[in-house]
Amino acid sequence: MINGCSDLFVEVFGERGRHARSAVGMSSLPGGIPVEIEAIVAVK
């Protein structure tokens, strides 16, 4: 799942979509969601 998000960022934003990322393991997330993706972006 997380690779899919990274691929989407690059597809949408091109080379500017390449980014650093980290992953944190949890036994469960609220609402039964399988993945949580958080992004900090700058719009210029």
Domain residues of the chain, as ranges?
2-32
- Report the pLDDT value the prediction gives residue 1, as an integer from 0 to 100: 63
User: Under DSSP, is residue 35 helix (H, G, I), strand (E, B) or coil?
Assistant: coil
> For residues 3 and 10, is the Cβ–Cβ distance under 8 A?
no
pLDDT tens for each residue of 8-35? 989 999 998 888 887 777 777 788 777 7
pLDDT tens for each residue of 33-42? 777 788 888 8
Q: For the chain, what percent of residues have pLDDT higher than 90?
A: 16
- Report the pLDDT value the prediction gives residue 30, as an integer from 0 to 100: 81
φ, ψ for residue 4 (rounded to 5)?
Answer: -60, -40
Q: How far apart are CA 31 and CA 27, in angstroms?
A: 13
